[in-house]
Amino acid sequence: MNYTTQMDAAKKGIFTKQMEEVVKNEAISKEKLIQKIAEGKIVIPANKNHKNLIGIGVGEGLKTKVNVNIGVSEDEYSEIKELKKVEKALEYKADAIMDLSIFGDTKKFRKKLIETSPIMIGTVPMYDAVAKYGKNIKDMTVDDLFEVVEEHCQDGVDFITVHAGFNRISAERLDNNKRLTHVVSRGGSILYQWMKLNNKENPFYEYYDRLLEICKKYDVTLSLGDGLRPGSIKDSTDPSQIQELLFLGELTKRAWEENVQVMIEGPGHIPLHEIVTNMQIEKKLCHGAPFYVLGPVVTDIAPGYDHITAAIGGAIAASNGADFLCYVTPAEHLRLPDIDDMKEGLIATRIAAHAADIAKGIKGAKDWDNAMSKARGELNWAKMFDLAIDKEKAIEYRKSSMPENDEVCTMCGDMCPIKRIKEVE
Q: Is 122 annotated as a binding residue?
A: no
CB atoms within 10 A of CB 391: 12
Per-residue DSSP letter, 53? P
Q: Is 202 annotated as a binding residue?
A: no
> For 326-360, b where at least 16 C-beta lie within 10 A, e where not — what string?
bbbbbbbeeebbeeebbbbbbbbbbbbbbbbbeeb
Q: Is 229 annotated as a binding residue?
A: yes
Q: How many CA atoms lie within 13 A of 351 on its CB side?
A: 17
In whole angstroms, what is the distance from residue 161 CA to residue 138 CA? 21
Q: Phi and psi of 161, rounded to 5°? A: -90, 125
Q: Is 400 annotated as a binding residue?
A: no
Q: Is 354 annotated as a binding residue?
A: no
Q: Is 287 annotated as a binding residue?
A: no
Q: Is 409 annotated as a binding residue?
A: yes
In whole angstroms, what is the distance from residue 314 CA to residue 268 CA? 10
Contacts for 328 with CB less than 8 Å, ≥ 6 apart: 294, 295, 297, 306, 307, 309, 310, 311, 345, 348, 349
> For 45-74, b where at least 16 C-beta lie within 10 A, e where not — what string?
bbbbebeebbbbbbbbbbbbbbbbbbbbbe
Q: Is 218 annotated as a binding residue?
A: no
In whole angstroms, what is the distance from residue 407 CA to residue 121 CA? 44
| Count of all residues that appear for the chain in the document | 425
Q: Is 163 annotated as a binding residue?
A: yes
Hey, is 29 helix, strand or coil?
A: coil
Q: Is 420 annotated as a binding residue?
A: no
Q: Is 376 annotated as a binding residue?
A: no
* Three-state secondary structure readout of 155-188: HCCCEEEECCCCCHHHHHHHHHCCCCCCCCCHHH
In whole angstroms, what is the distance from residue 212 CA to residue 149 CA? 11
* Three-state secondary structure readout of 75-134: CCCCHHHHHHHHHHHHHCCCCEEEECCCCCCHHHHHHHHHHHCCCEEEECHHHHHHHHHC
Q: Is 326 annotated as a binding residue?
A: no
Q: Is 153 annotated as a binding residue?
A: no
Q: Is 57 annotated as a binding residue?
A: no
In whole angstroms, what is the distance from residue 5 CA to residue 418 CA? 54
Q: Is 412 annotated as a binding residue?
A: yes
Q: Is 286 annotated as a binding residue?
A: no
Q: Which of 275, 274, 352, 354 is nearest to 306 (CA)?
A: 352
Q: Which residues are annotated as a binding site for substrate?
A: 69, 98, 127, 163, 185-187, 226-229, 265, 292
Q: Which residues are annotated as a binding site for Zn(2+)?
A: 269, 333
Q: Which residues are annotated as a binding site for [4Fe-4S] cluster?
A: 409, 412, 416
Q: Which residues are annotated as a binding site?
A: 69, 98, 127, 163, 185-187, 226-229, 265, 269, 292, 333, 409, 412, 416
